Amino acid sequence: MEQSAVTAIFLPLALGIIMLGMGMTLTLNDFRKVALYPKAAVIGLISQLILLPLIGFGLAALIFTIPELAVGLILIALCPGGATSNLISHLAKADLALSISLTAISSIITNFSIPILLNIALAHYMTGEKAITLPFFKTFIQIFLVTIFPVVIGMIIKKKRPHFALKSEKAMNIISTFFFILILLAAILKERENIIPYFEQAGVAAIILNISALLMGFILGKLFGLNKRQRSSIAIETGIQNGTLAIALALSPAILNNTQMAVPAAIYSLLMFVTAAVVILISKKQNSQEALKELSLS
């Protein structure tokens, strides 16, 4: 589970290129709609920052007898997805502006919520564990460089060179799909020797947490009358967690320094790509049709 050069360099670079392509499909008006009608964003934030951690705490108490694994499951529930969730929203033709907005807002909030909630988990399951803190400025800069900055550049290209952006859309979709498959294969290859033992330890809990998160996002969106694309974005933002952050917090000598706590995050990170592929296949056609209707009405 140690971070390799591929994970440290290639993955952020690939995600940055993907986010640039996504930016070329967006305008300021897309984000203006999110700000003017914030109901979807509020529901999304409640789903991923309040309800999902509650499910994580509940599953940890019900399933695990090993304290380290219980803390590890709670940890992955506390780390909402970054650029990866935006990529999956893009491929599923979900509301991309909503997805990116949720990523940006949740990334700031989790600098405060993760230390607080994780310390509650540590106090309950472990004894003598020291408090943790996230490097706020460093985390924000990482999110900005991988997510927000390339999207802004893409939006500028769309505004200045609309024909180029339109012609590039098909190619960027192919590149995005290619990178998604590559990231999935790289994740499986990296953990190939550990997949079975990890699954034996945390597989059932990870599957239940992931499917619960996805379903919760869809159901909440439907209950509050959101459209299909918004429901898809909230489901994806809730179900796609930042496994890299969770593993880094678990393994870091300065923070948790506990390999066993990283196991739930590692197996969740593998499983979520499989369920994400299913979501993309199911949602893409319906969301594309709804997007066309929205364009015709605007």
Model confidence over 242-298: pLDDT tens digits? 887 787 778 777 677 788 888 898 889 889 989 998 998 888 877 777 766 666 555
User: How far apart (Å, rounded) are the C-alpha atoms in residues 198 and 80?
Assistant: 21
pLDDT of residue 9: 60
Does residue 36 register a pLDDT over 70?
yes
Give the largest CA-CA distance in the chain.
60
pLDDT of residue 178: 76
User: How far apart (Å, rounded) are the C-alpha atoms in residues 169 and 50?
Assistant: 35
Does residue 151 register a pLDDT over 90?
no
**Model confidence at 222, in pLDDT bands (50, 70, 90)?**
very high
Q: Which of 141, 19, 120 is nearest to 78 (CA)?
A: 120
What are 93's two structure tokens?
């033709």
pLDDT of residue 167: 82
User: How far apart (Å, rounded) are the C-alpha atoms in residues 92 and 281?
Assistant: 7
pLDDT of residue 230: 93
User: What is the arithmetic mean of pLDDT over 182-201?
Assistant: 71
Q: Which of 143, 138, 166 is nearest to 154 (CA)?
A: 166
Alpha carbon dihedral 175, 176, 177, 178, in 10-degree steps, equals 50
User: How far apart (Å, rounded) are the C-alpha atoms in residues 265 and 250?
Assistant: 9
pLDDT of residue 249: 78
Does residue 148 register a pLDDT over 90?
no
What are 174's two structure tokens?
């192919």
pTM of the full structure: 0.77
Does residue 15 register a pLDDT over 80?
no
Exposed e or buried b for every residue in 33-58, given b needs 16+ CB within 10 A? bbeeeeebbebbbebbbebbbebbbe
Does residue 123 register a pLDDT over 80?
yes
pLDDT of residue 206: 94
Q: What is the mean pLDDT of the chain?
A: 81
pLDDT of residue 152: 86
Helix residue ranges, H only, 161-194: 162-190
pLDDT of residue 131: 52
Beta bridge partners of 241: 80
Q: Which residues contact 261 (CB under 8 A, 6 or more apart)?
A: 68, 69, 71, 72, 75, 250
pLDDT of residue 205: 94
